[in-house]
Structure 1
Amino acid sequence: MSVTLTQEPDRPHVAHLRLDANELNLLSLELAHDVRDAIESTPAAVSVLTIAASQPDNGVRGLTAGLDLEWARDLTPHEGQDLLVAFYDMIQAIRDLEAVTVCGCGTYTLGVGFELAMACEFRVTTDDATLGLPEVNVGLPTVIHGGLLLRLVGEGIANELIYRGDPIDGARASELGIVTDSVAVDEYTDTMDDLVSDLAVKSPHVLTLQKRVMNRFRSNGLESGMAGSIGDIGRAFGSYDQREAMAAFLEDREPEFEEP
């Protein structure tokens, strides 16, 4: 299969979505649907989801080089709109997921793949990765979730990346705050693993509640989102995980959470 979703046997609250469609994981309508279906099939018990390309044994691969231009260049306006709807639904599925998402950008992530990465909570890449939104250079404007760049870096840098269409490397993306971590190629896998492990030891129940709160901030606006989060946080009190986490902190030990 070109898209797979697996849960870890020892940490079932951690799952991994992997793309292995073609050499560069170029995206088409069908692949966008497959990715969306995989995301939407994520079990409710999963609180941490990684999204990346299947990695070769001898190196690091990029997530996707973006749209398959050979496939897309002769699309009609109607077909183009169908494609954009599919891309919107794919990325929105990530944003609406109640699991915390970690995107492995690898050595390249471009176009709609870069938009997908920006929809995740965390992004990890290599220092020399090729990242960006080159749509303007291939006859298309950057649309839909390209707007997430405004929240990450503000209008000035977003204008530079979108209007010029020039890629940046991972080190520059890290300086700008677009990615969480940018590391040498030989440190990439360990960095991904360490980040996932940091998240995996948190209470799955609390991570899910936190993601729900963050989604409210995004969808309802900050003021109403803050007010609406009271119920979610209130429900955390009295849970086993809340009491265990506080007890472990006070006793200076690692918490032992319930299985999701």
Structure 2
Amino acid sequence: MSVDIRADGAVLTVTLDRPEKLNALRGEDIEALRAGIGELGGARAIVFRGAGGRAFSAGVDVTEFLALDSPDAAREFISALRAMLADVRRAPVTTLAVIDGACVGAAFELALACDLRVVTTRSRLGLPEIRLGIPSVVDASLLQQYVGLGVAKDLVLTGDLLEATDPRLAGLSTRLVDPSDLDRTTEELLARVTGHTPTVLAAQKRLFETWQNTTLEQGIEISVEEFAGVFEAGETRTALHRYGVEHGITPG
């Protein structure tokens, strides 16, 4: 297993730790990622990073694909990847991909599944699967929402990797930074997103998934219930009271 998972207060850091292979993922790593995501404890954010300074991750190790000797084996492998990415997307806390270097294939899908992405200017991103004779699937379907359908088709059909600074990827990075600013920017962003109540984080994350998968009217209807539901939690009233005190606001 080449995944290191460490909890530090409100932040759970998941490091893809196979630098000699550009942090390429094997089946066991995908399972370890899913297990780690399921053990949040008191975390209010999950950070995904790559070890070694050269790559976030080169995606799935090609030897894993070479070992798939039947459609059933292929379906089992991609279903495990799908489940892991769904867990990232649906996590009840903020998820953040910290990308420095290559971010390719399934690792790019992992970044797309995250809520936020801090990306260095020396990073390169793409979906080269078509060059291997296999399609880009699962959370690659999110790409067009970030960069538009035309650019998504360009990336997928050519299999090209683009520099993070390429204007076509302008909608992808939450923060695009010089490598020297990566850690500072990550810490500043984490400070902004970990101070919220677990109740509101979980509600907001559910709503993102709802908005992704329902009509506008259905999403609005469900959001009304989510809004009402957070008032069942005492921490909602505590947060409201604290905000009022900090800003000199009293109930009308």
Could you tell me which residue of structure 1 aligns to residue 4 of structure 2? 4
Q: What's the % identity of the aligned pairs? A: 27
On the 8 A contact 2:45/2:194 being kept in 1, the answer is yes
Q: CA deviation at 1:166?
A: 0.8
Q: 1:72 to 1:98 in 2, by over 3 A?
A: same
Per-residue CA shift, 1:138-164, capped at 9, x if unaligned?
222111211111222221111111111
Query: How far apart, CA to CA, are the structure 1 residues paired with 2:3 and 2:247?
Result: 39
Partner residue, 2:29: 31
Q: Which residue of 2 aligns with 1:15?
A: 12
Partner of 1:257: none
The one of 222, 229, 232 equivalent to 1:228 is 222
Task: Spell out, residue by residue over 1:115-144, the C-alpha distance to the aligned partner (whole angstroms, 9 max, x if none).
Answer: 011001001111120111111122221112
Contact 1:174/1:182, CA 8 A, preserved across alignment: no
Residues 48, 99 of structure 1: 8 Å contact kept? yes
Whether the aligned pair in 2 keeps the contact of 1:174 and 1:181 (CA below 8 Å) is: no
The within-5 A match list for 1:142-181 is 142-172=136-166, 175-181=169-175
Q: 1:88: Cα distance to partner? A: 0.8
Q: How far apart, in 2, do the equivalents of 1:161 and 1:76 lie?
A: 28
Of 37, 50, 62, 1:69 maps to: 62
- Give secondary structure in 2 for the equivalent of 1:128: coil
Distance between the aligned counterparts of 2:168 and 2:47, measured in 1?
19
Residue 75 of structure 2 is matched in structure 1 by 81
CA distance in 2, matches of 1:234, 1:83: 40
Distance 1:158 1:31 in 2: 27
Gaps of 5+ in 1: 255-260
SS at match of 1:109: strand
Matched, 1:95 2:89: yes
Whichever residue aligns with residue 43 of structure 2, its letter is: V
CA distance in 2, matches of 1:159, 1:50: 28
Distance in 2 of aligned mates of 1:118 and 1:221: 22
CA RMSD of aligned residues (A): 2.3
The separation in 2 between residues aligned to 1:242 and 1:74, in whole angstroms, is 50
In structure 1, give the amino acid aligned to 2:215. G
Question: Relative to structure 2, which stretch is displaced further, 198-207 or 187-196?
Answer: 198-207
Rounded to whole Å, the distance in 2 between the matches of 1:62 and 1:111 is: 12
Output one character per residue of 1:173-201: Cα deviation in whole Å (capped at 9) or x when no partner. 78521121111111111111111111112
2:131 matched to which residue of 1? Answer: 137
Q: Residues 240 and 151 (structure 1 numbering): CA distance in 2 closer, same or farther, change over 3 Å?
A: same
Query: Which residue of structure 1 aligns with residue 182 of structure 2?
Result: 188
| 4+ long deviations beyond 6 Å | none
SS in 2 for 1:182: strand
Q: Give yes or no for contact 1:63–1:108 (8 Å, CA) kept in 2.
A: yes
